[in-house]
């Protein structure tokens, strides 16, 4: 039985209710979390406020940095344990789960170093004045975390928030809490004061909603669906609370005829099959220049047909999807595509040892997908790649920008001028040239435009969002 972690103590919810934890690899319940309520959120917010006004405010920036560095080392020491927790909870293949544990340690390391290097400015003004700006923390920050990359998303939002001097109340997704409860315990072990990191588990419309509406929350960061992002922003707007939203994408990978296809093909495939396509920045559309459309589709199809899906611990190309309803969602998209006459080029296979009760979905490559079809417009959040054909830069840009989203875009071309032209014209928060994701570096600011959300996390840039600026003008004659 998993408990909430509030004020550095493991506590049961006041509701007395629990929620099952299901292993996506076999569909079986193996643990329970607390199904918390608004009372638990209130307790967590009060604890964090006490921390923010008490021991946390006593620490200077370099002391905060040392604590974050100690947590980074602790996470690295416990990487295997955290990997196993997240693997079972989320159905992640071993390599992916381990990469996520290492990324978490790296987030804390990066933000540990950033703490005492982030500062305000002095501004030249009229004679007789000295003007300076202070970067001040918001205070108690709320974090609603999704189930697809719990450790990584926790690292990027909580790491940045703490570095900037805030304290955190975290609501993990009900499907994926285990690793984050453990990380908060590790933080207490290395000396984070009670209330610096509180974890309250439960359902989104109950405890997530209570967090978003709590008057004691000074900033909210949310990663998840556009629908819930809208609810969070509405709740925050009612009390003018700043919000960072990361709401996913329908990201294009654009392949010109002069691209290095040998280098591009494995990247194109990884960008959609990583984490079984349950990635906000998944490269879910591949736009291919006409002269190489058929040959590249043939090569992609051949590679797709070799992809294997199986239990997380088997460490194959793909693990299961997070839950039964997610599998139904993906299959719904595929049925709609089939009904519209959209053809499948190839698909991978589910291995025979995969339990029938698990939530497995073979990766699918679709061709000639109309730009306006739902499968080319909406986030499937599963391993479905939509291929489309274009002629020339203008059409590539038109098609790439023709969704409501704008998170990430990839371009493959050897033409240097075209690389810059494309990067300038693509409407997205990140553009990758001759790669996709650049290895996910924690240093690289991340976030979207349009319905992909607003605000930036990761990198130094995140610290601006996690602080507010105070201008101090001193008249001294």
Would you tell me which residues interact with ligand NAD (CB under 6 A)? 144-148, 171, 173-174, 204-205, 208-209, 212, 223-225, 228, 231-232, 246-248, 280, 329, 379, 381
Residue indicated by tokens 């002069």: 258
Tell me how far, at minimum, the Cβ of 205 lies from ligand NAD, in Å. Answer: 4
Kindly list the strands in the beta sheet with 408-412, ordered across the sheet, starting from the edge strand earlier in the chain. Answer: 343-347, 364-367, 384-390, 285-289, 252-255, 408-412, 430-433
* Cα(365)–Cα(343) distance, integer angstroms: 9
Residue nearest to ligand NAD (CB): 204
Q: What is the residue whose two structure tokens read 């840009």?
A: 397
Sign of CA dihedral 308, 282, 443, 262: positive
Distance CA 468, CA 403 (A): 32
User: Which helix (H) or strand (E) segment is 6 a member of?
Assistant: strand 4-6
Smallest distance from the beta carbon of 238 to ligand NAD, in angstroms?
Answer: 13
Q: Which among 316, 129, 278, 143 has a CA at the least distance from the CA of 222?
A: 143
Q: How far is the CB of 351 from ligand NAD (least distance, A)?
A: 24
Instruction: Return all residues near 127 (Cβ < 8 A) that are at least 6 apart.
Output: none
Shortest distance (Å) from residue 216 CB to ligand NAD: 16
The beta strand positions in 95-191, using DSSP E, are 122-123, 129-137, 140-144, 167-171
Shortest separation between residue 223's beta carbon and ligand NAD, angstroms: 5
Phi, psi of 363, deg, nearest 5:
-70, 145
Q: Which is nearer to ligand NAD, 300 or 321 (CB)?
A: 321
Q: Which of 86, 109, 246, 393 is catalytic?
A: 246
DSSP states of 285-339: EEEEEGGGHHHHHHHHHHHHHT-EE--GGG--SB---SSHHHHHHHHHHHHHHHH
* Burial class of 437 by CB neighbour count within 10 A (0 to 12, 13 to 18, 19+): buried
What does DSSP say about strands 18-23 and 408-412: parallel, antiparallel, or unpaired?
unpaired
Which of 280, 379, 389, 393 is labelled catalytic?
280
Verify whether residue 302 is a known catalytic residue: no
- Measured from the CB atom, is 172 or 459 closer to ligand NAD? 172
Q: Helix 94-114 vs helix 79-90: angle between axes, to the nearest 10 degrees?
A: 120
Nearer to ligand NAD, 201 or 413 (CB): 201
Closest distance between ligand NAD and the C-beta of residue 417, in Å? 33
Give the span between the Cα atoms of 17 and 304, in whole angstroms: 44
Question: C-beta of 382: minimal distance to ligand NAD in Å?
Answer: 8
- DSSP one-letter string for 427-469: -SSEEEESSSSGGG-TTS-B--SGGGEES-BSTTTHHHHTEEE
Residue 144 vs 408, nearer CB to ligand NAD = 144
Nearer to ligand NAD, 329 or 454 (CB): 329
**Complex with ligand NAD: residue 35 or 46, whichever CB lies closer:** 35
Q: Which helix (H) or strand (E) holds 368?
A: none
Residue 211 Cβ vs ligand NAD, minimum distance, rounded to whole Å: 7
Q: Which is nearer to ligand NAD, 164 or 212 (CB)?
A: 212
> Residue 246 catalytic?
yes
Rounded CA separation 232/365 (Å): 34
Nearest to 277 by CA among 317, 244, 245: 317
Helix (H) or strand (E) run with residue 358 in it: none
Report whether 264 contacts 391 (CB < 8 A): no
Q: Give the dihedral sign, CA 367/370/374/380.
A: positive
State the minimum distance, in angstroms, from the CB of residue 236 to ligand NAD: 11
Count of residues making up the chain: 477
Instruction: Kindly tell me which of 62 and 230 has the beta carbon lying closer to ligand NAD.
Output: 230
Residue among 72 and 278 whose Cβ is closer to ligand NAD? 278
Catalytic residue positions?
246, 280
């Amino acid at each position: 039985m998993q408990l909430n972690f509030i004020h550095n103590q493991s506590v049961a919810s006041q509701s007395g209710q629990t929620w099952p934890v299901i292993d996506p690899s076999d569909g079986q319940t193996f643990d329970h979390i607390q199904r918390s309520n608004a009372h638990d959120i209130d307790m967590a917010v009060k604890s964090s406020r006490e921390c923010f006004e008490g021991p946390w405010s006593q620490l200077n920036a370099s002391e905060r940095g040392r604590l974050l560095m100690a947590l980074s080392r602790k996470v690295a020491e416990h990487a295997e344990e955290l990997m196993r927790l997240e693997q079972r909870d989320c159905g992640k293949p071993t390599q992916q789960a381990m990469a996520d544990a290492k990324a978490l340690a790296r987030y804390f390391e990066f933000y540990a170093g950033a703490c005492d290097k982030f500062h305000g400015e002095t501004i030249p003004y009229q004679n007789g004045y000295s003007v300076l700006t202070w970067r001040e923390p918001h205070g108690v920050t709320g974090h609603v975390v999704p189930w697809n990359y719990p450790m990584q998303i926790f690292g990027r939002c909580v790491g940045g928030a703490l570095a900037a001097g805030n304290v955190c109340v975290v609501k993990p997704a009900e499907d994926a809490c285990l690793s984050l409860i453990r990380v908060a315990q590790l933080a207490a072990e290395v000396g984070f004061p009670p209330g610096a990191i509180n974890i309250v588990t439960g359902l989104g419309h109950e405890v997530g909603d209570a967090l978003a509406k709590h008057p004691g929350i000074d900033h909210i960061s949310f990663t998840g669906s556009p629908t819930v992002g809208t609810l969070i922003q509405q709740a925050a707007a009612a009390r003018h609370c700043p919000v960072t939203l990361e709401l996913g994408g329908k990201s294009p990978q654009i392949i010109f005829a002069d691209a290095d296809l040998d280098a591009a093909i494995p990247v194109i495939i990884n960008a959609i099959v990583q984490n079984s396509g349950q990635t906000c920045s998944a490269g879910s559309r591949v736009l291919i220049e006409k002269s190489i459309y058929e040959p590249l589709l043939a090569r992609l199809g051949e590679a797709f047909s070799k992809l294997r899906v199986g239990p997380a611990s088997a460490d194959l190309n793909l693990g299961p999807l997070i839950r039964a309803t997610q599998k139904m969602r993906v299959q719904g998209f595929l049925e709609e595509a089939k009904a519209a006459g959209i053809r499948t080029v190839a698909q991978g296979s589910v291995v025979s040892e995969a339990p029938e009760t698990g939530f497995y979905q073979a990766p699918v490559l679709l061709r000639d997908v109309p730009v306006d079809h739902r499968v080319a417009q909406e986030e499937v959040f599963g391993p479905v790649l939509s291929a489309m054909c274009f002629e020339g830069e203008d059409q590539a840009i038109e098609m790439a920008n023709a969704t409501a989203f704008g998170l990430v875009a990839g371009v493959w071309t050897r033409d240097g001028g075209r690389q810059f032209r494309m990067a300038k014209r693509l409407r997205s928060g990140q553009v990758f040239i001759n790669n996709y994701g650049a290895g996910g570096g924690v240093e690289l600011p991340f976030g979207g435009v349009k319905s992909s959300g607003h605000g930036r996390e990761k990198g130094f840039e995140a610290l601006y969002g996690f602080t507010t600026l105070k201008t101090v003008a001193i008249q001294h004659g």
